[in-house]
């Protein structure tokens, strides 16, 4: 039902009903679109804040992207009705809204396009969606072929949702001069100053046809009539009625009346998107709406995507893993890093981690981003809750809530960049703050580390205020006293990393200062938070320790354990105890839960996490961003099997049908799989269907540095593959500092990793003096 193509570069789904929400996503520098296999679409573009051109049937709240999005009949989508003019029979491609049942169905998700093939009534409908690189537009190709062996008369009706645009000046009509339907509105506003903000908004939605249609309808209700979307009255007549929308919900529906020979076919191209005015619509038409325009756009887009193909390819006994790593993982990293999730104010921790991923894809982008983030540091050393990417951007949603963890991510993420590039010069870059003060990046990160040391209570534990990385835990410390167990060890980890970097620069005093700080925090964690077999999650304002054995809900949290491993707070003995508890209490067939048991009701001293549904989002979910740190920490201590087991559960497959049932095409890792495995087994494992997640760059890092064991450092490339027990070997192609490493890993009778490079046995499992442009052939033998 779900198949990869031979090279894993596409995934094909052959049933529209197996998992209705499964789909794919495309993006470019200005927009993104997520489309389900059945034709529902969620698209947004930046002007500069996220905006829509295909709307819900009502005035939707502006909010962050909702997980596990609910679809419904009038959800925005792109559909193609087909009517047999002889029998009156109707179906629709891809599948909605008619849901007629089809003879053949294939939804195919590629890296740079989405395609469908649908057959019914002896007719084949082929659809392709592509995007340009810089403009906001959907490029649709429709091909209708006659498979029936006899001449056919058909009507084909592309039907694209425009929806309820606004209570201000909404309208729609067919424009012969522009060659399509154009709907207009004014983005709703009430405050005068918003008029000036909004006046250049692209408030028009166009649906342009390469060839003039035979009929059209621009009025949603007129199109549907009493039939409803599954059987629109508009299709009953010989021609669509040619109506307009005047402060009525507009729609883009057109009709082509086709007479196909026995083996005939017909192809049409359409352009769908937003524009400021008629001139822009005409320009978009001229630029794209032709065979040549579509081909050029597809070539340019392929080239754009190819720039994000990353630095590693693998060949292992696990083909689905290979497919995902080689075709999709870097793509998702690239999406995050290249367009910053199409946000104007990414959360600081997300921005830093997304750009950590870019260190493996486009390091120059990561470099600029780290410096840009530092330019928004506060004079206290604190990092703001979000990084503003544009003049005029504002902190929104969760970025208005004070969190105390942002500084942690500076050294943690920068380290990956330094390891990958050895570009230590970045530390000496001058960075001008918003107060005008110019300090080097090194000085700024040192300030951030001091801020972490400062923001602690008398016990040496880190204040949580209204949240740390786990943002819904808003009530632990809002009175100013509560502390975070995770943040304490996370800060210790960050300080240790930074101390290492200070040491590398020969900054001895600072090295000792930060190393001592880390040690003190680790000691404080052990004194106050070790609960016998794991570390507590924190201590509330009212001095209640939580995430401890005495709790019946939220008893054990994953993050404090993972980061205690990273920070060194956990001894080997403690680690064994912790891992056993993680196995018992948190591990599930779908990955490792963030905590367990999930909260079933509000706990007023912990906060909003308890108001998420058990198993969803952060309330006991397999929250991949947390899980991946567990995996990362396991790789750092050589817990190879546990690490791979958790990683394998996170990455699509090996059982694609099961993965599909959980709501997902294997083209990205979602931000969570539902948890609450014991409490709600029916829904456990479901995908959030959100591709925005800090998880992804850490998965890439885990694959590169952990599984493949090909991690850079100041002088070269270390080699320490961590093959799961069941594998006899693997092959890796690694791009690193301009060179290419063809690595073949096999098992052998060795007691530690042995490496031959270009036929020469190396004294240590590392390669130094790397020459850019060279290709290295590396044989690795592992025990």
Any idea which residues carry the catalytic annotation?
471
Q: Give yes or no for residue 549 binding a copy of itself (CB under 8 A).
A: no
Rg over CA atoms, the chain: 28
Q: Which listed range, 55-63, 267-275, 363-371, 407-415, lies at the site for a copy of itself (CB under 8 A)? A: 55-63
Cis before 654 (ω within 30): yes
Task: Please identify, using beta-carbon distances, which residue of 374 and 676 lies nearer to a copy of itself.
Answer: 676
Query: Which secondary structure element, helix H or strand E, spans residue 442, and what is its range?
Result: helix 441-454
* Binding test (CB under 8 A) with a copy of itself, winner from 29, 143, 239, 612: 612
Judged by DSSP in three states, 466 sits in coil
Buried b (16+ CB within 10 A) or exposed e, 743-760: bebeeeeeeebbbebeee
CB of 101 to a copy of itself, least distance (A): 9
Judged by DSSP in three states, 733 sits in strand
Q: Give yes or no for residue 63 binding a copy of itself (CB under 8 A).
A: yes
Q: Give yes or no for residue 58 binding a copy of itself (CB under 8 A).
A: yes
* Binding test (CB under 8 A) with a copy of itself, winner from 14, 266, 661, 683: 683
CB of 199 to a copy of itself, least distance (A): 8
CB of 394 to a copy of itself, least distance (A): 14
Q: Which listed range, 208-216, 247-255, 483-491, 656-664, lies at the site for a copy of itself (CB under 8 A)? A: 247-255
Q: Give yes or no for residue 397 binding a copy of itself (CB under 8 A).
A: yes
Q: Give yes or no for residue 775 binding a copy of itself (CB under 8 A).
A: no
CA 80/CA 101 separation, integer angstroms: 14
DSSP structural state of residue 268: E
What's the token pair of residue 312?
Answer: 């590693």
CA 297/CA 312 separation, integer angstroms: 27
Q: CA of 615: how far to CAs of 22, 273, 327, 491, 690, in Å?
A: 20, 37, 30, 28, 15
CA dihedral of residues 100, 104, 107, 112 (deg, nearest 10)? -130
Q: Is the dihedral of CA 608, 611, 614, 616 positive or negative?
A: negative
Within a 10 A sphere around the Cβ of 485, how many other Cβ atoms? 34
Q: Give yes or no for residue 250 binding a copy of itself (CB under 8 A).
A: no
Q: Give yes or no for residue 279 binding a copy of itself (CB under 8 A).
A: no
| Count of CA atoms in the C-beta half-sphere (13 A) of 4 | 21
* Binding test (CB under 8 A) with a copy of itself, winner from 7, 134, 153, 167: 167
Q: Give yes or no for residue 509 binding a copy of itself (CB under 8 A).
A: no
Q: Are 59 and 164 in contact (CB under 8 A)?
A: yes
Q: Give yes or no for residue 186 binding a copy of itself (CB under 8 A).
A: yes
The pattern of x and - marking residues 352 through 391 that bind a copy of itself according to CB under 8 A reads ----------------------------------------
Q: Give yes or no for residue 175 binding a copy of itself (CB under 8 A).
A: no
Of 102, 40, 48, 50, nearest to 72 by C-alpha is 40
Task: Please identify, using beta-carbon distances, which residue of 74 and 456 lies nearer to a copy of itself.
Answer: 74
Q: Are 626 and 695 in contact (CB under 8 A)?
A: no
DSSP states of 635-699 as a string?
HHTT-HHHHHHHHHHHSS-SSHHHHHHTT--TTS--SEE---TTT-TTTTT-B------THHHHH
* Binding test (CB under 8 A) with a copy of itself, winner from 6, 149, 192, 749: 192
Q: Give yes or no for residue 190 binding a copy of itself (CB under 8 A).
A: yes
Task: Please identify, using beta-carbon distances, which residue of 100 and 708 lies nearer to a copy of itself.
Answer: 100
What's the token pair of residue 384?
Answer: 């703001």
Length of the chain: 783
Q: Give yes or no for residue 506 binding a copy of itself (CB under 8 A).
A: no
Q: Give yes or no for residue 729 binding a copy of itself (CB under 8 A).
A: no
Q: Which listed range, 219-227, 431-439, 565-573, 724-732, lies at the site for a copy of itself (CB under 8 A)? A: 219-227
Judged by DSSP in three states, 260 sits in strand
Task: Please identify, using beta-carbon distances, which residue of 94 and 653 lies nearer to a copy of itself.
Answer: 94
Interacting positions 80-139 with a copy of itself (CB under 8 A): 99
* Binding test (CB under 8 A) with a copy of itself, winner from 61, 279, 749, 772: 61
Task: Please identify, using beta-carbon distances, which residue of 517 and 614 lies nearer to a copy of itself.
Answer: 614
Considering only the C-alpha atoms of the chain, give the largest distance between any 2 of them, rounded to a whole number of Å.
87
Of 631, 626, 757, nearest to 704 by C-alpha is 631
CB of 131 to a copy of itself, least distance (A): 24
CA 340/CA 11 separation, integer angstroms: 25
Q: Give yes or no for residue 613 binding a copy of itself (CB under 8 A).
A: yes
* Binding test (CB under 8 A) with a copy of itself, winner from 462, 474, 624, 671: 474
Q: Give yes or no for residue 68 binding a copy of itself (CB under 8 A).
A: yes
CB of 553 to a copy of itself, least distance (A): 14
CB of 356 to a copy of itself, least distance (A): 26
Of 576, 616, 589, nearest to 600 by C-alpha is 616
Q: Are 105 and 294 in contact (CB under 8 A)?
A: no
Q: How many residues bind a copy of itself (CB under 8 A)?
A: 62
Cis before 48 (ω within 30): yes
Q: Give yes or no for residue 173 binding a copy of itself (CB under 8 A).
A: no
CB of 165 to a copy of itself, least distance (A): 11
Judged by DSSP in three states, 514 sits in helix
CB of 352 to a copy of itself, least distance (A): 22
Interacting positions 617-646 with a copy of itself (CB under 8 A): 617
Q: Give yes or no for residue 1 binding a copy of itself (CB under 8 A).
A: no
Interacting residues toward a copy of itself by CB under 8 A: 17, 56-63, 66-68, 70, 72-75, 99, 164, 167-171, 186, 188-192, 195, 220-221, 226, 228-230, 246-249, 397-398, 400-401, 466, 474-475, 478, 607-608, 611-617, 674, 680, 682-683
């Amino acid at each position: 039902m779900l198949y990869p193509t031979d090279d894993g570069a596409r995934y094909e789904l052959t049933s529209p009903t197996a998992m209705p929400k499964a789909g794919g996503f495309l993006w470019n520098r200005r927009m993104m679109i997520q489309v389900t296999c059945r034709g529902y679409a969620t698209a947004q573009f930046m002007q500069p804040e996220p905006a829509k051109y295909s709307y819900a049937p009502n005035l939707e709240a502006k909010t962050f992207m909702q997980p596990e999005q609910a679809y419904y009949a009038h959800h925005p989508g792109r559909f193609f009705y087909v009517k047999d003019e002889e029998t009156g029979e109707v179906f629709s491609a891809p599948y909605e809204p008619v849901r007629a049942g089809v003879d053949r169905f294939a939804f195919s998700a590629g890296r740079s396009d989405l395609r469908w093939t649908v057959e019914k009534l002896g007719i084949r409908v082929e659809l392709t969606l592509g995007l340009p690189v810089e403009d906001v537009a959907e490029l649709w190709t429709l091909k209708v072929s006659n498979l029936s062996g006899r001449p056919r008369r058909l009507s084909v009706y592309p039907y694209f949702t425009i929806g309820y645009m606004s209570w201000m000046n909404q309208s729609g009509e067919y424009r012969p001069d522009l060659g399509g339907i154009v709907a207009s509105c004014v983005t709703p506003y009430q405050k005068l100053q918003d008029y000036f903000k909004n006046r250049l908004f692209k408030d028009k939605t166009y649906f342009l046809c390469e060839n003039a249609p035979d009929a059209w309808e621009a009025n949603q209700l007129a199109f549907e009539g009493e039939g409803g979307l599954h059987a629109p009255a508009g299709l009953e007549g010989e021609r669509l009625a040619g109506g307009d929308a005047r402060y009525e919900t507009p729609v883009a529906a057109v009709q082509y009346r086709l007479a196909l020979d026995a083996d005939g076919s017909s192809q049409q191209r359409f352009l769908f998107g937003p524009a400021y005015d008629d001139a822009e619509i005409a320009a978009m038409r001229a630029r794209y709406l032709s065979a040549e325009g579509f081909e050029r756009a597809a070539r340019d887009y392929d080239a754009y995507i190819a720039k994000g193909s990353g630095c590693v390819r693998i060949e292992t006994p696990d083909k689905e893993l290979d497919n995902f790593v080689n075709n999709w993982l870097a793509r998702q990293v690239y999406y995050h890093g290249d367009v910053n999730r199409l946000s104007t104010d990414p959360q600081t921790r997300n921005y830093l981690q997304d750009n950590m991923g870019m260190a493996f894809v486009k390091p120059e982008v990561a470099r600029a981003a780290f410096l840009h983030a530092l330019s928004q540091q506060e004079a206290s050393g604190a990092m703001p809750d979000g990084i503003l990417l544009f003049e005029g951007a504002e902190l929104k949603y969760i970025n208005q809530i004070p969190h105390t963890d942002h500084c942690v991510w500076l050294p943690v993420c920068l380290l990956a960049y330094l390891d990958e590039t050895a570009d230590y010069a970045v530390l000496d870059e001058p960075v001008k703050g918003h107060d005008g003060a110019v300090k080097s990046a090194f000085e700024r990160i040192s300030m951030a580390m001091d801020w972490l040391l400062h923001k602690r209570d008398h016990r040496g534990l880190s204040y949580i205020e209204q949240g740390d990385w786990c943002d819904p835990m808003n009530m632990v410390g809002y009175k100013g006293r509560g502390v975070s167990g995770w943040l304490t060890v996370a800060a210790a980890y960050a300080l240790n990393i930074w101390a290492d970097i200070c040491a590398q620069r020969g900054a001895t005093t600072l090295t000792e200062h930060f190393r001592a700080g880390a040690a003190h925090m680790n000691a404080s964690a052990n004194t106050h938070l070790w609960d016998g077999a794991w570390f507590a999650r924190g201590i509330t304002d009212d001095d209640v320790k939580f995430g401890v054995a005495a709790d019946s809900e939220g008893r054990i949290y994953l993050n404090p354990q993972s980061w205690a491993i990273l920070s060194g707070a956990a001894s080997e003995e403690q680690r064994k105890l912790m891992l056993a508890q993680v196995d018992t209490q948190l591990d599930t067939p779908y990955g490792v839960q963030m905590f367990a048991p999930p909260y079933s009701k509000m706990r007023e001293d912990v906060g909003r996490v308890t108001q998420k549904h058990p198993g969803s989002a952060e309330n006991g979910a397999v929250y991949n961003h947390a899980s991946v740190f567990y995996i990362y920490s396991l790789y750092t201590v050589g817990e190879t099997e546990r690490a791979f087991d958790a990683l394998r559960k996170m990455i699509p497959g090996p059982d694609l049908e099961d993965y599909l049932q959980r709501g997902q095409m294997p083209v990205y890792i979602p931000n969570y799989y539902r948890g609450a495995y014991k409490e709600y087994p029916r829904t456990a494992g479901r995908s959030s269907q959100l591709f925005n997640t800090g998880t992804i760059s850490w998965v890439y890092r885990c694959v590169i540095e952990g599984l493949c064991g090909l991690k850079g450092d100041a002088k070269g490339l270390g080699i320490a593959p961590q093959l799961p027990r069941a594998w006899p070997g693997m092959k890796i192609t690694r791009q690193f500092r301009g060179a290419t490493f063809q690595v073949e890993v096999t098992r052998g009778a060795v007691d530690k990793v042995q490496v031959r490079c270009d036929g020469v046995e190396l004294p240590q499992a590392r390669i130094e003096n790397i020459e850019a442009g060279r290709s290295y052939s590396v044989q690795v033998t592992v025990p």
